[in-house]
């Protein structure tokens, strides 16, 4: 996949959901935006994996619960083959286990199905630009579970020492689920400066998104 495809044309999106009415309606609403092209729809996880192989979309909107192959498993299969693809999970219920499973599988975003279409569009655009988009409730669930029991293996020690005092402060606010504008307001800095700090933190920690950075911070007791 050309990771810069959306700089030269529409963001290519695959919608995977086993509920026909929801899937077709979401696809139609997304297609109304000139910078988004819904390249295909899949009615199940296995079809989603196959279409991801064939079409290599930029962003996949993935239902969490499907009868043939559930969202986390489909997400993991797709990202194993196409690691630059961005997956945003969709679900009716923000169940703790669902949220944790899709984040562990590599999804860069998580939205409830009752999210307003404007926010879904923003999540697609954010994902295409490499930015994680986690609904506040989902962020609360993921970080809460990490605080209680942890996820995956412990991170490599020593990375935190590469951060400046200001970057550690920003990382602490990321772990609280704050977005860049909120971080800027909290620290009395510009949103652009906050964004630069977040980018530097992800680079130094070698992490793809603020979700993983937040999990790392919680594990290290920085929140």
What pLDDT is attached to residue 197?
95
Distance in angstroms (rounded) separating the CA atoms of residues 137 and 139: 5
Distance in angstroms (rounded) separating the CA atoms of residues 199 and 54: 32
Domains in the chain: ranges and CATH: 5-145 (3.40.50.2300), 156-219 (1.10.10.10)
In contact, 128 and 165? CB cutoff 8 Å: no
In contact, 132 and 87? CB cutoff 8 Å: no
What pLDDT is attached to residue 114?
85
Does an H or E element contain 42, and which? strand 36-42
Question: How do the pLDDT tens digits run along the chain, 223 residues long?
Answer: 333 344 457 999 999 999 999 999 999 999 999 999 999 999 999 999 999 999 999 999 999 999 899 999 999 999 999 988 999 998 876 566 777 788 778 888 888 888 889 989 998 998 898 777 766 666 666 667 666 665 554 555 557 788 999 999 999 998 887 878 889 999 999 999 999 999 899 888 877 677 778 878 877 777 6
């Amino acid at each position: 996949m050309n990771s810069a495809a959306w700089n030269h044309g529409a963001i290519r999106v695959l919608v995977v959901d086993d509920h026909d009415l929801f899937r077709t309606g979401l696809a139609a609403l997304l297609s109304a935006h000139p910078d988004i092209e819904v390249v295909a729809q899949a009615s199940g996880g296995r079809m989603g994996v196959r279409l991801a192989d064939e079409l290599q979309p930029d962003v996949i909107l993935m239902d969490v619960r499907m009868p043939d192959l559930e969202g986390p498993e489909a997400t993991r299969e797709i990202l194993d083959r196409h690691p630059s693809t961005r997956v945003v999970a969709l679900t009716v219920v923000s169940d703790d286990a669902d949220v944790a499973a899709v984040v562990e599988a590599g999804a860069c975003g998580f939205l409830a199905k009752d999210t307003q279409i404007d926010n879904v569009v923003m999540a697609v655009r954010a994902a295409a630009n490499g930015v994680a988009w986690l609904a506040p409730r989902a962020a609360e669930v993921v970080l809460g579970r990490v605080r209680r029991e942890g996820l995956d293996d412990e991170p490599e020690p020593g990375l935190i020492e590469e951060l400046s005092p200001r970057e550690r402060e920003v990382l602490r606010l990321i772990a609280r689920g704050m977005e860049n504008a909120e971080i800027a307001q909290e620290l009395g800095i510009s949103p652009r400066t906050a964004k630069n700090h977040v980018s530097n933190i992800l680079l130094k920690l070698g992490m793809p998104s603020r979700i993983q950075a937040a999990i790392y911070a919680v594990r290290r007791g920085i929140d």
